[in-house]
Amino acid sequence: MPAEGVPLTPKADLLTTEEILTLARLFVKEGVDKIRLTGGEPLIRPDVVDIVAQLHQLEGLRTIGVTTNGINLARLLPQLQKAGLNAINISLDTLVPAKFEFIVRRKGFHKVMEGIHKAIELGYNPVKVNCVVMRGLNEDELLDFVALTEGLPLDMRFIEYMPFDGNKWNFKKMVSYKEMLDTLRQQWPELEKLPEEESSTAKAFKIPGFRGQVSFITSMSEHFCGTCNRLRITADGNLKVCLFGNSEVSLRDHLRAGASEEELLRIIGAAVGRKKRQHAGMFNISQMKNRPMVLIELFLMLQDSPPALPNTSSWDPLGIQGLRHRPSVSNQVSTLWKRCLIPQTCPFAQRQLGSGSPQRHYSSHPDSDTNPKCLSPKSQASASHSGTLPTSDQLTHVDTEGRAAMVDVGSKPDTERVAVASAMVLLGPVAFKLVQENQLKKGDALVVAQLAGIQAAKLTSQLIPLCHHVALSHVQVRLELDSTRHAVVIQASCRAQGPTGVEMEALTSAAVAALTLYDMCKAVSRDIVLGEIKLISKTGGQRGDYHRT
């Protein structure tokens, strides 16, 4: 809760019980099979038990959940369970009562713990506990939280600190998933990865012998936009297709204006069609105007786990005529999800873009080279291939009509991929001496550049438009001083298990580390030269290994 609180929405602006149920019926009819009441705090709504009971009557709705601060949970849970509630998420960021009061601006820690134990007593398994981890506030409690799963059927979910209005987000406060995982493995090296459910937002782990499990929500360091099937409706009736997007569409206003079911479906379909391929990077999100989590109410999940849509920014949302020509309205929204699969272009967007205007979009190109992720390596002159396959003589990211095309790697087997790239920064004698002696006013240039290189490797798919997102298992950035040339030699290596190579990650890492060195030293000298950014080697993939000679 922000220190200054949040402005209360006038009651007249909130969705009524009937409006909530009307929208719920519409979404369930179109394929939504899970609804979660979130917040703010849903359990302060006097009609919450009645809402759950009426949702329970909807045919096709398989899961009704609630995300709560837990303070009223023990009192209301028996009624909610009887009404049909079958999933619980409880927000708890600390196990220290005094710290709890500081975070939530009120007392109530013991009521939350009572609610957790009441949920276990009533047979909920697992009881999900959500913890937002913040450096300097609660990262020292990770092991204490995980220890609870030894004897209790909890799914302890650690969430990376995310930017929202009012939370004064700062990158330095964010503890990444990998850092948290390393901390847990130092204590429990036997920690094992569990299979991921389709469209799951969490990476789950379990300690052998423990009743519960541990999960990580990696929204910042490893986004899951490509498999996200979530929609959100705010307490005042606005549809959000992305938690991190500031674009909202008022369904409440259309409902109150007497919109028909078909009109509502067109509005929803247009909003879903504008869903971007992935959310902005963490630093861009932190600068965006976006309502805080405490002002979001209804959370919907579509069945069949459809992935996120490509960005079709040229599509006019008010002119979506494609829906009008369908023989029936039924399942329009779920059809839109299922047909607009990455890397294909959304069919409705194709209809709306003028045939005479240039189109920027993603499309599948099954005949293209499946190993390099941007350009063919043909231009790499002084190189040798240890594999048997020749390099491609075609650009891999252009289709037969000359349009940008993303390589389809869906049918390719997962193999271990390793790539090494290098770069050089010629600093000159003055800047070199300051770096060597760590005397720069900005700080330790080598350490900052190393961290920047690691971060860049993980964000490559957000920087290079047609690169696939790769879950890297290892990144290493080394910087060595060359006193004969007053230079810093950078070497970046990346490793992953997957269907596509990691050379772009290694090259991006080396390049960004070099750029960071320039930024750290530019006040001393503008004669710095960046160069020799190149791929040293790559292994794995159908085209064999590559080693620069």
Do the Cβ atoms of 538 and 503 come closer than 8 Å?
yes
The H or E element spanning position 77 is helix 73-83
DSSP lists the bridge partners of residue 529 as 426
State the CB neighbour count (10 A cutoff) for residue 319: 10
Please give the torsion angle defined by the CA atoms of residues 542, 543, 547 and 549, in that order, rounded to the nearest 10 degrees: 170
| Burial class of residue 132 in the structure, from the number of CB atoms within 10 Å of its CB (0-12 exposed, 13-18 middle, 19+ buried) | buried
- Measure the N-to-C terminal CA separation of the chain; round to a whole number of Å: 58
**SS3 category, 107:** coil
Q: In sequence order, what DSSP letters do the residues of 383-403 get, joined into one string?
A: EEE-SSSPPPSS-TTB-TTS-
What residues have CB less than 8 Å from 191, skipping those under 6 apart?
181, 184, 185, 205, 206, 207, 214
Cα-based angle 14, 20, 24 (whole degrees, multiple of 5): 150
Helices (H), 345-481: 347-352, 429-436, 445-458, 460-463
Do the Cβ atoms of 490 and 453 come closer than 8 Å?
yes
Nearest to 137 by CA among 178, 174, 191, 89: 174
> 17-29 and 48-55 helices cross at what angle (nearest 10)?
20
Six-digit token string for 151? 């004897």
Give the span between the Cα atoms of 294 and 246, in whole angstroms: 15
State the CB neighbour count (10 A cutoff) for residue 350: 15
Integer-rounded Cα Rg, in Å, for the chain is: 26
Q: In sequence order, what DSSP letters do the residues of 284-310 get, joined into one string?
A: HHHHS----GGGEEEEEEETT-PPPPP
Q: Is 182 a catalytic residue?
A: no
Six-digit token string for 449? 């550049």
Q: If you search the block for the tokens 């005397």, which residue do you land on?
A: 439
Question: What are phi and psi for residue 83, nearest 5 degrees?
Answer: -75, -20
Catalytic residue among 155, 519, 527, 545: 519
* CA 431 from centre of chain: 39
Give the span between the Cα atoms of 57 and 24, in whole angstroms: 11
238-240 and 230-234 beta bridge pairing = antiparallel
Six-digit token string for 169? 């987000």
Nearest to 95 by CA among 134, 148, 135: 148
Give the span between the Cα atoms of 42 and 235, in whole angstroms: 10
Six-digit token string for 519? 């930024």
State the CB neighbour count (10 A cutoff) for residue 299: 21
Residues with a known catalytic role: 519
